[in-house]
Amino acid sequence: MQLPFRVNLEGRVALVTGGGGVLCSVMARALAACGARVAVADLKKEAAEAVVSVIRGEGGTAMAVACDVLQRESLAAANETVKRELGPIDILINGAGGNHPKGTTTHEYLRPEDLQGAVQDVITFYDLDPKGIEFVFNLNFLGTLLPTQAFTREMAARGRGVVINISSMNAFRPLTKIPAYSAAKAAVSNFTQWLAVHFSRVGVRVNAIAPGFFVTEQNRSLLTRPDGSWTPRAHTILAHTPMGRFGEPQDLVGTLLWLVSDEAAGFVTGVVVPVDGGFAAFSGV
Catalytic residues: 181
Q: For 71, list phi and psi in degrees, rounded to 5.
A: -120, 115
Q: Are strands 91-94 and 161-166 parallel, antiparallel or unpaired?
A: parallel
Q: Which of 158, 259, 263 is nearest to 205 (CA)?
A: 259
Please tell me the distance from the alpha carbon of residue 220 to that of residue 280, in angstroms, as a whole number. 22
Please tell me the distance from the alpha carbon of residue 12 to that of residue 91, in angstroms, as a whole number. 7
Please tell me the distance from the alpha carbon of residue 91 to that of residue 74, in angstroms, as a whole number. 19
- Classify the phi-psi angles of 272: left when phi > 0, otherwise alpha if psi is within -120 to 50, otherwise beta: beta
DSSP per-residue codes, 184-241:
HHHHHHHHHHHHHHHTTTTTEEEEEEEE--B--TTTHHHHB-TTSPBPHHHHHHHHT-
Beta-carbon count within 10 A of 91 CB? 22
